[in-house]
Amino acid sequence: MNVETVATAPIEGQKPGTSGLRKKTAVFMQPGYLENYVQAVIEGVGGVDGRTVVVGGDGRFFNDKAIGIILRMLAANGAERAIVGQDGMLSTPAASNVIRKRKAFGGIVLSASHNPGGEDGDFGLKFNIANGGPAPESITDAIFARTKALTEYRILKDQAPSLSTLGETRLGNMKVEIIDPVADYVSLMETLVDFDRIRKLFASGFTLRFDAMHAVTGPYAKAIIEEVLGAPAGTVINATPLPDFGGHHPDPNPVHAAELFRLMFSSDAPDMGAASDGDGDRNIVLGRGISVSPSDSLAVLAANIHHAKGYRGGLKGIARSMPTSRAADRVAEKLKVDLFETPTGWKFFGNLLDAGRVTICGEESAGTGSPHVREKDGLWAILLWLDIVAARGQSIAEIVTEHWRTYGRDFYTRHDYEGISTASGDQLMADLRGSLASLPGKTFKDLTVAEADDFAYQDPTDGSVTSRQGVRIMFDKGARAVFRLSGTGTEGATLRVYLEKFEPDSSRHDRDPQDVLADVIAAADAIAGIRDRTGRSAPDVIT
């Protein structure tokens, strides 16, 4: 083979976070930057000699060129086969499915998830292991160690083949297989939800607006919702993936999917609204006049998952990330199944799913999943909602309000303070941690602190311990505040504050969450000094 060994030196700042390495696109495009990190990944996972590796991404700017470089490096490092989505496209859950179905060694997934795209936007790369899920910390630590010791990388001098033509070609000694990125995913979904029942739902006149946000889910949603399930043409909007997501921020929240939210609260609202994010792993679901929070969505889906074709055996257990509201806990308690509270990051669900301990898992950041893949899956969650609506013959609002009457309502919101200085964010968290022992018994804005801790998690399957995962303040009156610094951005730091309060009285369930949580919001600010430390009079994003 025509292999070139290129001398290099470590590049600072290539430490992967909870979802791999994310930086500005321009950073990844710097000479040698991507090459260094890919070589560190290859060596950090133990090499790819004789292995099959899946490669694909969300189609954002630089996706196709980066894949060409990655393929040349995989070939130079001895990989036997690379399986690539056509045009370099694979949604994150679809990539997980292909890794599992083809029994690949792992996959290189190119995405910065819900972050903006384009030449001035963000880019990301992560390695998924053989179970289809994100690499655990033991592997990401090994990758980071290699970034600090790298002296050379290997790359084939030959050009990578076209990504647009289906079929098999060769790159050096490596087979490159270009696959339809949608077909396997459609087949998987048919085993999980009742396509016939959902077809009848649409045939009855049920209406849906699905906003694919010019991101990777567009072709998947068009194929399933319009072509297979028979929804009218135009049900899926913004369905063509664009390198810059049409100049928009592909995050399905009230700020970045504002047009969909306005429609669903208007007199012209369809029966259901939905959206997914940049790489297809997040979702939002709305009914006429109601937005289902991701925490509530997890709880409602858990309580109703037995209606769906692939889950008629019921629940084995539920897992949620620690900042996610405790609504799912109440379902687990009533149904007498285990509830697991994990750190933020989908990789923490992987062991539970592999061990058969849980049937559904989710995060407040709009991610939900099940054992069918080892990633959160936005379109799957939306199809599951459609199947439950079809099975129950009720509107989304009716299903949600009945759920609240049965279990009580956990009023919930998340306040994001984006782009604050890393130093001020670190100091805020350090001071919070330093105050934990003194907080219990103190009162802030009429709420008394019952408990306060820095969340740590011991994995029940392998005994591993993950610490310093966020500060939890548990108040009386069923209230809670959680503070975390997010690792998903590319500039500065994002302080996330999660606020919730339980309300058992159904006559009070129709109140605005921001009003109900006003005392929790005020108490959180009083404890952490958010406004004084960040200089912000209000959060940048409220979800």
Question: Other CB atoms closer than 10 Å to residue 522's CB: what's the count?
Answer: 14
CA distance 222 to 513: 34
Q: State how far the alpha carbon of 198 is from the alpha carbons of 145, 186, 229, 386, in Å.
A: 49, 14, 7, 7
Q: Which of 113, 276, 293, 370 is catalytic?
A: 113
Burial 88-97 (b: 16+ CB within 10 A, else e): bbbbbbbbbb
The single residue listed with the structure tokens 């302080």 is: 495
Close Cβ partners of 28 (under 8 Å, ≥ 6 residues apart): 34, 62, 66, 123, 125
CA distance 19 to 352: 18
Structure tokens at 343: 């750190």
Contact 378, 362 (CB under 8 A): no
User: Catalytic annotation on 113?
Assistant: yes
CA distance 137 to 121: 27
Question: Other CB atoms closer than 10 Å to residue 486's CB: what's the count?
Answer: 17
Let me know the angle formed at the C-alpha of 276 by 93 and 124, rounded to the nearest 5 degrees: 60
Contact 483, 497 (CB under 8 A): yes
CA distance 327 to 228: 34
CA distance 82 to 52: 6
Single-letter code of the amino acid located at 222: K
**Would you call 463 helix, strand, or coil by DSSP?**
coil
Structure tokens at 11: 């590049």
Beta pairing partners, 479: 501
**What phi and psi, each to the nearest 5 degrees, are found at residue 149?**
-125, 0
CA distance 317 to 238: 36
* Element spanning 56, H or E: strand 52-57
**What phi and psi, each to the nearest 5 degrees, are found at residue 415?**
-110, 125
Structure tokens at 502: 């339980």
380 Rama sector, left if φ>0, alpha if ψ -120 to 50, beta otherwise: alpha
Contact 112, 118 (CB under 8 A): no
Burial 144-164 (b: 16+ CB within 10 A, else e): bebbeebeebbbbebebbebe
Q: State how far the alpha carbon of 333 is from the alpha carbons of 284, 327, 329, 363, 406, in Å.
A: 25, 10, 6, 19, 12
**What phi and psi, each to the nearest 5 degrees, are found at residue 40?**
-65, -40
User: Residues with catalytic annotation?
Assistant: 113
